[in-house]
Amino acid sequence: MTDAPKSHGRKTITVSLKPQELMTHSPRLAKAWTAQVITLLPEAFPGVLGESLTGRALKDGLWQLDTVDLRLFGEGRHRNVDDTPAGGGAGMVLRPDVMGRAIDHARARMPREAPLIYLSPRGKRFDQAMAQRLSDGPGVTLICGRFEGLDDRVIGHYGIEEVSIGDFVLSGGEIAAQALIDAAVRLIPRVLGNQASTEEESFSEGLLEHPQYTRPALWNGLAIPEILLSGHHGHITAWRRAQAERLTKERRPDLWRAYCAVHGRDPDEDQEL
């Protein structure tokens, strides 16, 4: 399909502008959790999300992916999407009218309560709590920037949330979008075979996870901590908790202080190990 849709009304929507086997087939989005991605690189999806756990869940319909090709909403014969920055300077900026059309098209087929997020290094830092919040809702519309990013008026006009995956600059929002989708999708019930494993993971209780070991019991002269082979579940649980606390205190004093505040603990207390 080479033409941008002339009307963005529901009836004229064809969802997969470039149908791909793993993407949504039907014009109406099903009820499953939906990741909608506005991007100049729709071929980059599902990418790694099509593999392993998230890939199986996509095939099983536990979530769906809806890519919106920004280029189709471009201006003129060449479908231009960007222009030089007002005020001068390097690079190009994504045009607000082009992005606005893509957003209107995308939002028309998402539930209103699904958040609209622009992946951006200036955004709120993505974390496990945000992944959980997204996973609990109907889905998310993600905008991937390229070049110098979006015209700021679009962000204000649509009340877009800005979310960053860390204090570094990527060349585009696609990798960030895939990281966010992966973190949210694995929290959808039934995506992970063993639901309990998300409850014990890093961050789920405000702590980093305890160290993990598997066979062989002796490797390069290094033994698995004896307690893990003792079969005593009470001791193992206590040991793991103590290790998680030790690691968090050592590596992430910010998380440790927050954890102590919640549990009424003194962050400077000596730990018994």
Residues that bind ligand SAH (CB under 6 A): 119-122, 144-146, 148-149, 164-166, 168-173, 176
Instruction: With CA atoms as reference, report the closest residue to 125 among 98, 94, 165, 91.
Output: 165
Residue among 119 and 191 whose Cβ is closer to ligand SAH: 119
* Residue least distant from ligand SAH (Cβ): 145
- Cα separation of 36 and 34, whole Å? 6
Token code pair at residue 182: 């992966």
- Cα separation of 14 and 1, whole Å? 10
- H helices of 38-173, where? 52-59, 96-107, 128-136, 152-158
Instruction: With CA atoms as reference, report the closest residue to 147 among 101, 90, 99, 100.
Output: 90
Please report how close the Cβ of residue 215 comes to ligand SAH at its closest, in angstroms: 38
Please report how close the Cβ of residue 67 comes to ligand SAH at its closest, in angstroms: 15
Please report how close the Cβ of residue 117 comes to ligand SAH at its closest, in angstroms: 10
Residue among 90 and 196 whose Cβ is closer to ligand SAH: 90
Instruction: With CA atoms as reference, report the closest residue to 128 among 187, 176, 178.
Output: 187
Looking up tokens 């949210």 gives 184
Please report how close the Cβ of residue 93 comes to ligand SAH at its closest, in angstroms: 9
- Cα separation of 185 and 213, whole Å? 26
Please report how close the Cβ of residue 124 comes to ligand SAH at its closest, in angstroms: 10
Please report how close the Cβ of residue 241 comes to ligand SAH at its closest, in angstroms: 33
Residue among 169 and 222 whose Cβ is closer to ligand SAH: 169
- DSSP symbol at 167: S
- DSSP symbol at 258: H
Please report how close the Cβ of residue 41 comes to ligand SAH at its closest, in angstroms: 11
- Cα separation of 209 and 194, whole Å? 17
- DSSP symbol at 161: E
3-class state of residue 125 by DSSP? strand
Asked whether the CA dihedral 117, 122, 124, 127 is positive or negative, the reply is: positive
Residue among 23 and 177 whose Cβ is closer to ligand SAH: 177
Residue among 72 and 154 whose Cβ is closer to ligand SAH: 154
Please report how close the Cβ of residue 211 comes to ligand SAH at its closest, in angstroms: 29
